[in-house]
Structure 1
């Protein structure tokens, strides 16, 4: 049976539909509409915040493995996926406050949880940590920018004006430039996710990446902090270690980790290694 399954992988649309159907769906206020949340599993809550121009689908290769041990909570962040635009704000703090309020409503005020954010989700997670009290047990940042360091220029192509094969080629180019270390890992599922996310993205987050916004916010965090990158993350390569130094300037006890051979979307490209490292980090920091 295992060999048969290996030869006949689940179609991308069927996999996404199955995970969506298995989730418990909740909506909380967001801007002039609602933020959509999905939850899988039982146990101690682990909140996952996806990246810019993304949705809960950024975690498609993680939710089942993590939900075997934890209550996994994934929102579509404000202005992305199925969630409404946030109230207008000039910095990430108010947007983070809307997400934090949603966490409180979904889990119940005061419920303790662990928070893991990827890329733009890492930025919002840092601001949530700056605002949070004892309910936040730990903060894990994945592929984080906004630490006050320069990054390589990533040349992306616009996809909104092209269709058909040219659109698929544009998605493949952008994933190879920013999200994957090895273009061979860009499979049909990644392309389906990229297309859906692009169609539903309205909130623009890239302007925050070159600031010190995350570093300034995480300096105020009282929960244990960790920072994780894929070894070949396009926003950190070739100076990943400088990101660790920058974090330790404001969080000297921070835990850091690198997953060899992976790029920015490390939770997808190296899912098994990411899942194992995240669970190990949580277990060693908080005894989960």
Structure 2
């Protein structure tokens, strides 16, 4: 049986751009309309947006890369982080769009990459929506409750480890951890080759926010791991981003666009309209 992931993939338009002479970034595109670039989170791939592509592509031309060193994209060099990934992705989308401007929608580590892209090319980024943004100077603490996946080859055992870890860091309500969520995590995480992403645990987003020239909005799940450790510190940090709008979605964890897809899709489309 063809999964939703395979069905979406088969309907995408693929393109590649150069990360280095030896490495490529793989892009997938759907829909028509004003361009919207969507950047996935750490240890992820384009699949982080599996429940958003069909809805958003009805009105927008979506461009989803696998970030360098993740998914189908090559790792151009070791030591990559959000600030060094951003110019690679930026150069790629400028090439693909022939220099046209675009909106940016980033998730988690991808939100940090998006922030650096808006910092590097404020004349190109027309609107920026941060989802589950990191780089706020707030670290959720060590994840002692995560289970190791390395060496787990039994399919049923692997599935249970993935289910447990999704509940620990990504999804608020464990009844929402379905086979699709597990498939996305399993396919994506095993292809993550970018190690030690330090900027996500820094205040990097706060240090560049003053350079943004476009309208910026933020969306977080109410039980996001970045938020729930210290809601007061979270609110103080977010207040420094200069957001046009801030939204906290109920009954959602870090992966808010998956767990509450309908609410997220409607909210994202509203935030990406107008000035």
Of 114, 124, 128 in structure 1, the residue corresponding to residue 103 of structure 2 is: 114
Kindly tell me the number of residue pairs found equivalent between the two proteins.
272
- Partners of 2:243 and 2:4 in 1: CA distance: 39
Decide which of 94, 106, 117 is 2:84's aligned counterpart. 94
d(CA) in 1 for partners of 2:28, 2:9: 8
Which residue of structure 1 aligns with residue 254 of structure 2? Answer: 264
Q: Point out where structure 2 has 5 or more consecutive residues left out of the alignment.
A: none
Trace 1:128-139 onto structure 2 (pairs within 5 A). 128-139=117-128
RMSD of equivalent CA atoms: 1.7
Q: Take 1:43 and 1:91, find their aligned partners in 2: how far apart are those partners? A: 31
* 2:81 and 2:197 in contact (8 A); partners too: no
Structure 1 residue ranges without an equivalent (≥5): 1-10
The answer as to whether partners of 1:176 and 1:183 remain within 8 angstroms in 2 is: yes
Report SS of the residue matched to 1:236.
Answer: helix
Give the C-alpha shift of residue 238 in structure 1: 4.7
Contact 2:80/2:197 (CA < 8 Å) preserved in 1?
no
- Distance change in 2, residues 1:91/1:131 (3 Å): same
* TM-score, normalising length: structure 1: 0.89
Please tell me whether residue 234 in structure 1 is matched to residue 225 in structure 2: yes
2:172 matched residue in structure 1: 181
Contact 2:216 2:242 in 1 (8 A): no
Q: Which residue of 1 aligns with 2:234?
A: 243
After TM superposition, the structure 1 = structure 2 runs for residues 212-227 of structure 1, keeping only pairs within 5 Å, are 212-227=203-218
- Distance across 2 between alignment mates of 1:243 and 1:220: 21
